Structures are given as structure tokens and as C-alpha cells.
Amino acid sequence: MEKRRALLQAAIALWRTNGFAGTTVADICKAAGVSKALFYFYFPTKEDALAEAGVLSTGDARRVARARRAGPGELPEAIGAVLAALERSMRHSPPDLLIEATLEGHRAEHRALREGRPDEHHASRYLFLELLRRAQRDGGLPPGLDVLHVARGVQALLEAGTRHWAAGEYGDRGFAEVVGRDIAAFVAGHARIASGDAQES
């Protein structure tokens, strides 16, 4: 695992300096002091390494998500706190790398679907899934809400928001502010629909 971590650290450092497209697998291996064979033992492609590095960069946000309460009225504040932690970590990466990482996450999800791998197996990809599940257990979301479906939609908003923010489209507005509002509205809308469906049955 030490060599795997060294490869990812070397890759991230090079991507931040030279960009994703400007960094080869050979560059990463040279910086990490390992062979290309070892790289390919751990990662089938450079894109797979990028996808894993993307998971690592959400560590602070995931810790905040685990620590937040999610009962009635608490979910929007918890969403904002998670996004603020994510924004702090994203500020350390070049915009092009953030854009490429979100696009690769999208491609990885489609590969999994094409190969018939169940979505639950990749549940760790969805940053807000555990928080939404806790909100449902704590009474902050209705029991009939399909939380996995909502987490997928939230992830799409998160990734699109990351690309727009990285491209400078939000101007002076912060990532957490804009994307937090979008996600909170999306979750609230699905919660209202689920509550209405429950009342009708």
C-alpha cells in the first residue's frame, strides 16, 4: 500500500504542476521511483489513478459529513459544511485538474454501469449518500425517499458545480454557496414528492 500511496502522491504533484494531459505514466513512475509494471499492477490506466486520487481529495469533506447531525432542519446546514470543506481542499488543485477529475468520475460511473456492476458497490463515490441516509434515520427526510437515487442526483449537481466553479463561472460567489443552494433545493424537492406519495397511499 505504501507504493500505491507514493504513486498517487507523485501523480497528484505532477498533475498540479504539468496538468493531467501533460503528465505521462512514465513521468509518474519516475517521480515515485517505481516501474511502469508496478503502476499498471495498481491502476489499469492513468484515468483510474486520477479517479482514486479524486476520492482521496474528498477526505476532509467526508469527515465533516460523518460528524454532522442530519435531523429535521439540520440537513441544509450539514450540506453547506460538507461543501465548504470540499471547497477548501479544491482550492489546492489547478482548475483543469478539477475539471478532468469530475469528468473521469463520470466516465468511471458509466463504465461500471456498462459492465453491469451494481451501483451500491460504488456507493462510496457518492459524497452525500451516508449523510442522506443518516438524515432519513434521524427524521430529516421521509422514510419513503429513495436515498440512493437522490445521492446520484446530488453527485451530478456536485460534479457539474465543480466544473463551473473551476471554470470561473461563479464569479465572486463561493462554490459552497452556489452548489449548496442547488443541492438543498434538489433534496427538498424530492423529499416533498416522497412525503406527498406517502400521504396518498
Q: Which residues contact 146 (CB under 8 A, 6 or more apart)?
A: 194
Using alpha carbons, select from 166, 148, 158 the residue that is nearest to residue 184: 158
CA 196, CA 193: separation in Å to the nearest integer?
Answer: 5
Candidates 175, 73, 183, 50; CA nearest to 128 is: 183
Residue 141: per-residue pLDDT: 95
pLDDT at 181: 96
pLDDT of 169 reads 96
Burial class (CB in 10 A: 0-12, 13-18, 19+), 114: exposed
Give me the tens of pLDDT residue by residue for the chain, a chain 201 residues long.
Answer: 788 989 999 998 998 888 888 899 999 999 999 999 999 999 998 888 887 776 557 888 999 999 998 888 899 999 999 999 999 988 888 888 888 888 877 777 777 778 876 655 456 778 999 999 999 999 999 999 999 999 999 999 999 999 999 999 999 999 999 999 999 999 999 999 998 865 665
Does the 1-54 domain belong in CATH 3.40.50.150?
Answer: no
Query: Pick from 128, 148, 143, 153: which is nearest to 76 by CA?
Result: 128
Q: What pLDDT is stored for residue 186 in this prediction?
A: 97
d(CA 104, CA 50): 7
Domains of the chain by residue range? 1-54, 57-200
Confidence at residue 200, expressed as pLDDT on a 0 to 100 scale:
60
CA distance 189 to 67: 25
